[in-house]
């Protein structure tokens, strides 16, 4: 469910027609629904209420400080994967007790900041990182809490892109499960550290709840072995990876995942254990759209192309993963106003390849997509863009990053202005800044 719907011939975000957003702020612009973000967070947390998890929203999916603050007011923590994301979380007012730090290549500076903040958990991914964290802890006179990221060697199905699969043996993330007990013992013997448990993350999006079941069963076997040896495991971070609806009715519900996960984790939480989740996409994806404007229409061989002002620098997922995003005009003809994202029954559609302005052959947002007949100047919405949209933007081709707008009811607020040409070169003109 989300708060983007066609009413009176135009796409609305909550109570605001997006044509008015395009007119006021220009395009490309990301538009987020506050009500959708809040509703998705609440319903995700409710699905797992029986095990009372700490839900740390994944900042890599959507990192605007205003949106982290919005979710923080609802009780969400933050999963950060860099010092920059940790900085954003602190600016957003997120309690360090509700903050975790992950990442396979954390710098000494990033680890030191996490130690000084005494965040809830640092997810470590190698023997070398444990050694560095121990040294930092002694220097700082603190005793950080950590979990060891385990690679359970569990592969999702073919619907998860290979480039976003992170739980199989030989990948860059985590410690192979057959080495995890040895590393746990080493960290537990270090009086500078508090090793509390384990972390797993299998990739994203994961469509089959049984993938989680297999990983958790392997993780719990490891926990049982360590507990029999006298250790106490108090934290199990099950990561994120829950899917979003890029097309209607294609993803399992949160209740489907909860049924599998709660059955396995209930005993652990009944004994006082803490479960942590790191959802991102599943909460944010359908809370945002990218609005864009048609610049040109052109013929290329047998193909009809529509060239937008938004491309792979503004939304990278299609170029990176060949991912699908539903695309439709903000003001379609009456006969082409969709009631869902299944538009196969609509008449009068034309097949287009949707491309951006970037000087790269991979700059396609969609291929062979059936759309109403388009004209230069028409505004389009690229749906399910709230996750890994703005966070993956770049200045390639010296493109300006887009604006971000938050809608709540009938209120519209600019939460990041569009970059200017001066912004593009501000960090380069050091001599001008220094007066040289």
What are the boundaries of each domain within the chain? 4-31+285-425, 103-277
Flag whether 108 is marked binding: no
Residue bearing the bigger pLDDT, 85 or 164: 85
Predicted pLDDT of residue 194: 98
pLDDT above 70: residue 168: no
Query: What is the SS3 assignment for 237?
Result: strand
Give residue for tokens 């796409």. 11
Spatial distance between the Cα atoms of 251 and 412, rounded to a whole number of angstroms: 30
Dmax of the chain from CA atoms? 71
- Which is the catalytic residue, given 13, 56, 121, 359? 359
Domain 4-31+285-425 falls in which CATH fold? Lyase, Ornithine Decarboxylase; Chain A, domain 1 (2.40.37)
| 382 touches 325 (CB < 8 A) | yes
pLDDT above 70: residue 166: no
CA distances from residue 33 to 70, 96, 280 in whole angstroms, order as listed? 11, 26, 15
Query: What is the SS3 assignment for 191?
Result: coil
Question: Which letter does DSSP use for residue 306 in this model?
Answer: E
| 145 touches 187 (CB < 8 A) | no
| Residues in Cβ contact with 160 at an 8 Å cutoff, skipping those fewer than 6 apart | 203, 204, 205, 206, 207
Half-sphere exposure of 202 (CA within 13 A, CB side): 27
Residue bearing the bigger pLDDT, 434 or 67: 67
Predicted pLDDT of residue 272: 97
Flag whether 279 is marked binding: yes
What's the pLDDT tens digit per position in 85-96?
999 999 999 999
Burial-class residue 190 by CB neighbours within 10 Å (0-12, 13-18, 19+). middle
Measuring CA to CA, which residue among 380, 369, 378 is closest to residue 292? Answer: 380
Predicted pLDDT of residue 18: 98
pTM of the model: 0.94
What's the pLDDT tens digit per position in 189-221?
999 999 999 999 988 789 999 999 999 999 999
Q: Over the Cα atoms of the chain, what is R_g?
A: 23
pLDDT above 90: residue 71: yes
Is 3.40.50.300 the CATH number for 103-277? no
| 295 touches 387 (CB < 8 A) | no
Half-sphere exposure of 252 (CA within 13 A, CB side): 19
Flag whether 419 is marked binding: no
| 378 touches 333 (CB < 8 A) | no
% of residues, the chain, pLDDT over 90: 87
CA distances from residue 265 to 229, 259, 275 in whole angstroms, order as listed? 21, 10, 8
Spatial distance between the Cα atoms of 277 and 270, rounded to a whole number of angstroms: 17
pLDDT, average across residues 44-48: 98
pLDDT, average across residues 135-144: 98
Predicted pLDDT of residue 155: 64
Out of 117-131, 143-157, 226-240, 418-432, least confident range: 143-157
Flag whether 321 is marked binding: yes
Locate 59 and state its tokens: 């900042």
| Mean pLDDT value across the chain | 94
| 285 touches 246 (CB < 8 A) | yes
Question: Which letter does DSSP use for residue 110 in this model?
Answer: H
pLDDT, average across residues 325-332: 97
Question: pLDDT tier at 399 (50, 70, 90 boundaries)?
Answer: very high
Is 13 marked active-site?
Answer: no
Spatial distance between the Cα atoms of 241 and 46, rounded to a whole number of angstroms: 18
Spatial distance between the Cα atoms of 109 and 140, rounded to a whole number of angstroms: 12
Flag whether 280 is marked binding: yes
Flag whether 388 is marked binding: yes
pLDDT, average across residues 147-154: 90
Q: What are phi and psi of 142, to 5 degrees?
A: -130, 165
Question: Which letter does DSSP use for residue 165 in this model?
Answer: B
What length is written for the chain? 436
Measuring CA to CA, which residue among 257, 239, 245 is closest to residue 283? Answer: 245
What's the pLDDT tens digit per position in 82-133?
999 999 999 999 999 999 999 999 999 999 999 999 999 999 999 999 999 9
Flag whether 360 is marked binding: yes
């Amino acid at each position: 469910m989300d708060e983007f719907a066609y009413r009176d011939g135009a796409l609305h975000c909550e109570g605001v027609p997006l044509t008015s957003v395009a007119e006021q702020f220009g395009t490309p612009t990301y538009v987020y629904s506050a009500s959708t973000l809040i509703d998705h967070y609440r319903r995700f947390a409710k699905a797992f209420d029986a095990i009372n998890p700490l839900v740390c929203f994944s900042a890599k999916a959507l990192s605007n400080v205003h949106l982290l603050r919005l979710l923080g007011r609802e009780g969400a923590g933050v999963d950060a994967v860099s010092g920059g994301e940790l900085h954003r979380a602190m600016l957003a007012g997120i309690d360090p007790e509700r903050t975790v730090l992950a990442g396979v290549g954390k710098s000494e500076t990033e680890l030191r900041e996490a130690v000084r903040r005494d965040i809830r958990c640092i997810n470590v991914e190698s023997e070398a990182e444990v050694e560095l964290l121990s040294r930092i802890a002694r220097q700082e006179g603190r005793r950080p809490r950590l979990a060891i990221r385990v690679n359970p060697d569990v592969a999702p199905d073919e619907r998860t892109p290979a480039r976003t699969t992170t739980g199989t043996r030989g990948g860059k993330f985590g410690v192979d499960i057959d080495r995890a007990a040895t590393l746990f013992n080493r960290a537990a013997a270090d009086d500078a550290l508090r090793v509390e448990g384990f972390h797993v993350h299998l990739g994203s999006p994961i469509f089959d709840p049984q993938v989680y079941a297999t990983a958790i069963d392997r993780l719990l076997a490891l926990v049982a072995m360590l507990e029999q040896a006298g250790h106490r495991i108090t934290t199990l971070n099950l990561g994120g990876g829950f899917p979003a609806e890029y097309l209607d009715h294609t993803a399992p519900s949160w209740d489907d995942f909860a049924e599998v996960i709660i059955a396995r984790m209930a005993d652990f939480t009944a004994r006082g254990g803490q479960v942590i989740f790191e959802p991102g996409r599943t909460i944010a994806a359908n809370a945002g759209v990218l609005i864009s404007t048609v610049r040109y229409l052109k013929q290329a061989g047998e193909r009809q192309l529509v060239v937008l002002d938004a491309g792979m620098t503004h939304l990278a997922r299609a170029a990176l993963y060949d991912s699908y995003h539903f695309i439709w005009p903000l003001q379609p003809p009456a006969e082409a106003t969709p009631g869902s994202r299944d538009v196969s029954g609509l008449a009068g559609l034309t097949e287009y390849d949707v491309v951006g302005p970037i000087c790269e052959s991979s700059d396609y947002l969609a291929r062979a997509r059936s759309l109403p007949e388009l004209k230069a100047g028409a505004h389009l919405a690229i749906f399910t863009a709230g996750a890994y949209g703005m966070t993956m933007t770049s200045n390639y081709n010296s493109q300006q990053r887009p604006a971000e707008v938050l809608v709540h009811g009938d209120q519209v607020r600019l939460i990041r202005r569009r970059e200017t040409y001066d912004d593009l070169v501000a960090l380069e003109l050091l001599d001008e800044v220094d007066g040289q």
